[in-house]
Amino acid sequence: KQEVTQIPAALSVPEGENLVLNCSFTDSAIYNLQWFRQDPGKGLTSLLLIQSSQREQTSGRLNASLDKSSGRSTLYIAASQPGDSATYLCAVRAGNNRKLIWGLGTSLAVNP
Amino acid sequence: GAGVSQSPSNKVTEKGKDVELRCDPISGHTALYWYRQRLGQGLEFLIYFQGNSAPDKSGLPSDRFSAERTGESVSTLTIQRTQQEDSAVYLCASSLVGGGLAGAYSGANVLTFGAGSRLTVL
């Protein structure tokens, strides 16, 4: 059974710091992995999607990596800003499964 | 539309009443998902629609929950005889195609979420 874990559960950093959020999954037979951010009252925003054949994806200050063999993904945020404060969620889609399996998220606070 | 629209944004109801939640996906998106998020918990899959295929209802928690979607348009999630444990934010998402169908174009799998419907059962 696929399980997704995100560490840390909460993180507070000063503005400008580079940071890494971690996501681990138990079954390496995944189709893809997605990172989302959740802002209160605004639903979820998709940040990056990495296919199982890819190693990383980049969008602006965000870089997501995928290591299927070790069951890990990281989301790197460069030069963090207060506007980055949100909950970051990782979700994996198994090979033949239409469902996304979600982590519980990392709550990030970037302090000015 | 430009995004996924959900209504109502907030619903307070009494225990035992029926509620209906609506999701209007992005035009052209064949896949539509309903999720539930209880306070302090992760997202919980409820149901998945892909085009005209039979929906995947395996996440519905009880027979009080049902959902419909006509073609590739609006979907409604109905909760009958609501209970206090049904209180949650109900999120709808759509994507161009569903899981396993995107082929080489990974962007087709990307989910766009609505802002959610917050349900409070008193």
Per residue in B67-98, pLDDT (tens digit) is: 999 878 899 999 999 999 999 999 999 988 76
Distance CA B53, CA B71 (A): 10
Question: Would you call B112 and A102 a contact, using CB atoms and an 8 Å cutoff?
Answer: no
In whole angstroms, how far apart are CA B33 and each of A78, B10, B48, B75?
A: 32, 19, 5, 9
Task: Pick B51 or A97 by higher pLDDT.
Answer: B51
Backbone angles phi, psi at A84, to 5 degrees: -80, -10
Query: Are the beta carbons of B17 and B82 closer than 8 angstroms?
Result: yes
Substitution target from A46, A48, A90, A101 for chain B, most B beta carbons within 10 A: A46
- A1 touches B at CB < 8 Å: no
> What would the pLDDT profile of A60-88 be if each residue is shown by its tens digit?
999 999 999 999 999 999 999 999 999 99
Give just the sign of the alpha carbon dihedral B91, B92, B94, B97. Answer: positive
Q: CB-side exposure of A71: number of CA atoms within 13 Å? A: 12
- B20 touches A at CB < 8 Å: no
Substitution target from A98, A104, A106 for chain B, most B beta carbons within 10 A: A98
pLDDT value of residue B112: 86
Average pLDDT over all residues of chain A? 90
